[in-house]
Amino acid sequence: MKGALQLVFAAVLVAAPSGVAAWGALGHETTGYVAMQFIGSKTLSAVQSSLGSTFNFSLGPAATWADTVRSETAFKFSAPFHFIDAEDNPPTSCSVDISRDCGSAGCVISAIQNYTERVQETKLSATQHQQALLFITHFIGDIGQPLHDEALELGGNDIDAICDGSSTNLHAAWDTGMLEKNLDANFSGDPQVYAASLATRITSGDFKSLAAGWVSCIEPSALNSTACPLIWAQEANAFDCTNVFDFKTGQDLCDSAYYTAAIPVIDLQLAKQGYRLAKWLDAIFE
């Protein structure tokens, strides 16, 4: 999983030197910018003073930090925190089970719990609080990507795939390939424009009736537990049985019915995780 992500990261650096770093960077920035539209005023102050100008005072740019440090020696420990290796059997049966799937090195569910506690721990330093906030922001994005909640073929990294004629793998197609195509075609390639569109769908569009249900688990007493992250992982993992593995060898994932079915899933997951991030941070800071 790490190798493929580093490749994706390197490709993004070469192809887009002006972009932030290598969901992929676009997905993470999108969830961060969606969250910025929904956080309360106390959360906004806390977030802005913690992130500072390094992250342009915004969860959008901050959301990619955890990917940029995961290969550094000092942050190697955080590599398993980006996913949970669900040992289920897609597309026949999908499930996430913490005791079965969250290894001794930790996983995205235990990491969200850990950094949620640490961001509230008054004895920790400002730097430690900032790192906790950066990790929460990133991992609430990762947990919504169906292949970050799947062990099969290294979360799809070991499955060859094609996206718009280019060779890739299934994991990267979901992290970046399909997302980039949709962003370029519909949102000027700009995650802020995409996030604004998702936020409008939450406020007054087709997501409006769903949004309360997305965050129904979030309350102060649930913050320090794995209850909410487990639900989020199970929800994303369910798409491994409906969409993710539903393709034929050689099919172009970015130019077929597979793509048309995947885009609404990606929109939903990014909108949902951005909204959840906002309400999770509000439960901490408001």
Is 97 considered catalytic here?
Answer: no
Count the residues of the shown chain that bind Zn ion, applying the rule CB under 5 A.
3
Q: Which of 82, 171, 201, 272 binds Zn ion (CB under 5 A)?
A: 82
| Closest CB to ligand NAG among residues 92, 127 | 127
Q: Active-site residue among 85, 101, 171, 240? A: 171
Q: At residue 243, what is the residue type?
A: N
Q: Which of 85, 88, 101, 142 binds Zn ion (CB under 5 A)?
A: 142
> Is 129 a residue of the active site?
no
DSSP-H helix ranges across the chain = 2-15, 25-36, 41-51, 59-62, 65-69, 98-101, 108-120, 126-142, 152-155, 170-172, 178-186, 191-204, 208-214, 227-239, 257-285
Backbone angles phi, psi at 169, to 5 degrees: -130, 165
Q: Of Zn ion, ligand NAG, none, which one sits near residue 142, judging by CB under 5 to 8 A according to partner kind? A: Zn ion
Give me the residue whose beta carbon is nearest to ligand NAG: 185
Q: How far is the CB of 176 from ligand NAG (least distance, A)?
A: 14
Q: Which of 88, 129, 138, 201 is catalytic?
A: 138
Residues 6+ apart with CB under 8 A from 269: 144, 145, 146, 236, 239
Q: Which two three-digit tokens encode residue 256?
A: 């077929």
Q: Which of 68, 75, 81 is nearest to 5 (CA)?
A: 68
Q: How far is the CB of 60 from ligand NAG (least distance, A)?
A: 7
CB 261 within 8 A of CB 22: no
d(CA 18, CA 194): 18
Q: Which does 19 bind (CB under 5 to 8 A by kind): ligand NAG, Zn ion, none?
A: none
| 129 near Zn ion, judged by CB under 5 A | no
Which positions lie near ligand NAG, rule CB under 6 A?
A: 56, 58, 77, 106, 110-111, 114, 117-118, 120-121, 181-182, 185-186, 220-221, 223-224, 260, 263
Which of ligand NAG, Zn ion, none has residue 203 at its interface (CB below 5 to 8 Å by kind)? none
Tell me if residue 142 is catalytic: yes
Which residue lies nearer to Zn ion by CB, 90 or 141?
A: 141
Beta bridge partners of 160: 169
Q: Could you give the residue numbers annotated as active site?
A: 23, 28, 67, 70, 82, 138, 142, 148, 171, 175
